[in-house]
């Protein structure tokens, strides 16, 4: 620890955090001892660079993290917890004394506290909520009624809202008073006596308007807005389409509830992408590296069972045509090539289409055009790759690395080339078609698409290869 202390002294907080992070990855025990012996440095680090302090905390043992957080003031502990992933923060909160956890959550913004409490088991969440201040707990409970992937689940209730009837000068004075309480002042929203959203004006435009002008004259009427249960994907699309820094959220009667900030939109897009990736391979969209073991296993098992069933179907297809392999054993070594290349080509097409669907770039009127384009790509790529495959196979057979009768070299190479061409062409089209079909039936386009694609490419790859071999050899 003495060596570590010599290395870390006389450093700025950010440099100290970076050095601690590097040291923790090598020997976390040494860093835990260092911070335990220097509480003032840890507190200064948290107060100055909470995000960097959170990175260091994530590298330490759970026991050390709990002890370091317990020693902080509630505001400082809240700042660190807000920078840690909600899943990991929830694990730490569960182990903290209830009073310490409640005090930290009281100091958080309600939306951040709701995200964290939403990751707790139901009974633990209720215990913490009961220990929080009634006002903060009520604000959190109001947010917890909304699904985490909805506008209500993403929004912050801290919003600059002013009543109709004010002049621009009066509005600026009101905003000056509110500025200490609000983190997001990109837009000022105008509401009527019943808090119904009537207009919006950017803070910049508000400052440059004539002080005597009425807000109703300066504002943009009927602004773009979403309801609390609007899906986060639609929120992100609106923010992107209209270049918004925040999207207002209303209830069914048009009353302003909060805003979804650009930071929340970015996080939502990232979360959506990660969930699409998980579901495309049959994992649960909610599963993370911190998920309960039994729950994660249960969510994976059905898709693996489906995979097993589809794999047995592929085995049956191969079993029906094993005679040709007995006659020409080298085919067994060459057979996986067609399936592998088809799988890769289909996955490329699958990724392109899912990405386009996630940004709503494939309207119903363009589906046939999309499929036709992917088919042409598959034919072109299939032609080039199949020619290369046939030539390389012929070269391998010619060198004796693979054994086959000399007279059969050309025919075996032709079989491999034709099988690769057929599988790549079909797989590229199927990679585009599968997510489009899933969407047509109201399912998530990313829902285990790769499992169905793998089944199709294996059937066409192995079965088609053996069929071509039977016809030509």
Same domain membership, residue 140 and residue 33: yes
In a domain, 143, yes or no: yes
Q: Which residues in the chain come in under a pLDDT of 50?
A: 2-3, 6, 10, 405-406
Residue 120 lies in a domain: yes
Domain end among 96, 127, 148: 148
Same-domain check for residues 304 and 437: yes
Query: Six-digit token pair at 2?
Result: 């003495």
Kindly report the backbone phi and psi dihedral angles of residue 259, in degrees, each rounded to the nearest multiple of 5, phi listed first. -135, 150
Question: Domain check: are 244 and 271 in the same one?
Answer: yes
Containing structural domain, residue 435: 293-472
Instruction: Give 468's contacts (C-beta < 8 A, 6+ positions apart).
Output: 415, 418, 419, 422
Please check whether residues 453 and 326 belong to one and the same domain. Answer: yes
Instruction: Let me know whether 171 and 250 are in one domain.
Output: yes
Counted domains in the chain? 3
Give pLDDT tens digits for 432-455: 888 888 777 777 666 667 777 777
282 within domain boundaries:
no
Is 133 found in the same domain as 31? yes
Q: What is the CATH number of the domain that holds 85?
A: 1.25.60.10
Answer for the pair 442, 384: CB distance below 8 angstroms, yes or no. no
Q: Do 299 and 417 lie in a common domain?
A: yes
Which tokens hold the place of 13? Answer: 């907080």
Residue 123 tokens, joined? 């009974």
Cα–Cα distance measured from residue 337 to residue 420, given in angstroms and rounded to the nearest whole number: 7
325 and 192 in one domain? Answer: no
User: What is the predicted pLDDT for the residue at 2?
Assistant: 40
Domain end (from 148, 176, 199): 148
| Cα dihedral 151, 153, 159, 165 sign | positive
For tokens 């050390």, the residue is 64
Q: What are 394-421's pLDDT values in tens digits? A: 887 766 555 554 457 788 888 888 888 8
Look-up: residue for tokens 């590229």?
Answer: 428
Indicate whether 154 belongs to any domain: no
Domain annotation covers residue 73: yes
Report if residue 408 sits inside a domain: yes
Q: What is the pLDDT of residue 327?
A: 73
The answer on 363 and 320 residing in a single domain is: yes
Specify whether 61 is located in the same domain as 102: yes
> 3-class SS at 94?
helix
Q: Report yes or no on 109 lying in a domain.
A: yes
* Claim to verify: residue 126 and residue 194 sit in the same structural domain: no
pTM summary value: 0.63
User: Where residue 195 sits, what CATH number does that domain have?
Assistant: 3.10.580.10
């Amino acid at each position: 620890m003495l060596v570590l202390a010599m290395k870390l002294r006389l450093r700025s907080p950010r440099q100290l955090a970076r050095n601690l992070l590097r040291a923790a990855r090598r020997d976390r025990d040494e860093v835990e001892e260092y911070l335990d012996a220097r509480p003032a440095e840890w507190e200064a680090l948290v107060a100055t660079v909470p995000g960097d302090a959170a990175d260091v905390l994530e590298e330490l043992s759970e026991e050390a993290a709990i002890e370091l957080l317990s020693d902080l003031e509630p505001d400082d502990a809240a700042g660190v917890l807000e920078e840690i992933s909600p899943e990991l923060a929830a694990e730490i909160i569960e182990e903290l004394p209830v009073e310490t956890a409640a005090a930290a959550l009281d100091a958080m913004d309600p939306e951040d506290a709701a995200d964290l409490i939403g990751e707790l088991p139901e009974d633990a969440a209720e215990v913490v909520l009961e220990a929080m201040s009634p006002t903060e707990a009520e604000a959190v409970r109001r947010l917890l009624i909304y699904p985490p992937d909805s506008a209500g689940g993403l929004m912050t209730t801290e919003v600059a809202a002013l009543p109709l009837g004010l002049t621009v000068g009066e509005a600026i004075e009101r905003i000056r008073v509110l500025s200490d309480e609000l983190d997001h002042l990109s837009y000022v929203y105008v509401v009527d006596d019943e808090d119904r959203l009537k207009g919006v004006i950017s803070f910049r435009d508000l400052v440059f308007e004539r002080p005597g002008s009425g807000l109703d004259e300066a504002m943009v009427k009927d602004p773009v807005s979403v309801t609390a249960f609007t899906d986060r994907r639609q929120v992100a699309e609106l923010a992107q389409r209209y270049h918004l820094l925040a999207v207002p959220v209303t209830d069914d009667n048009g009353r302003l509830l909060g805003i979804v900030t650009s930071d929340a939109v970015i996080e939502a897009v990232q979360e959506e992408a990660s969930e699409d990736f998980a579901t495309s391979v049959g994992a649960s969209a909610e599963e993370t590296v911190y998920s309960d073991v039994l729950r994660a296993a249960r969510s994976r098992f059905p898709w693996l069972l489906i995979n097993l069933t589809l794999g047995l179907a592929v085995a049956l297809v191969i079993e029906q045509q094993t005679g040709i392999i007995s006659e020409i054993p080298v085919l067994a070594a060459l057979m996986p090539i067609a399936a592998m290349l088809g799988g890769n080509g289909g996955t490329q097409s699958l990724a392109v289409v899912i990405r386009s669907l996630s940004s709503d770039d494939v309207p119903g009127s363009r589906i046939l055009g999309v499929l036709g384009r992917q088919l042409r790509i598959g034919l072109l790529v299939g032609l080039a790759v199949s020619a290369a495959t046939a030539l390389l196979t012929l070269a391998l057979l010619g060198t004796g690395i693979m054994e086959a009768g000399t007279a059969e070299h050309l025919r075996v190479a032709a079989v491999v080339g034709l099988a690769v061409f057929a599988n790549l062409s079909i797989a590229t089209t199927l990679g585009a078609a599968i997510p489009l079909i899933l969407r047509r039936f109201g399912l998530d386009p990313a829902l285990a698409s790769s499992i169905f694609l793998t089944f199709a490419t294996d059937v066409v790859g192995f079965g088609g290869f053996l069929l071509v071999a039977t016809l030509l050899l």
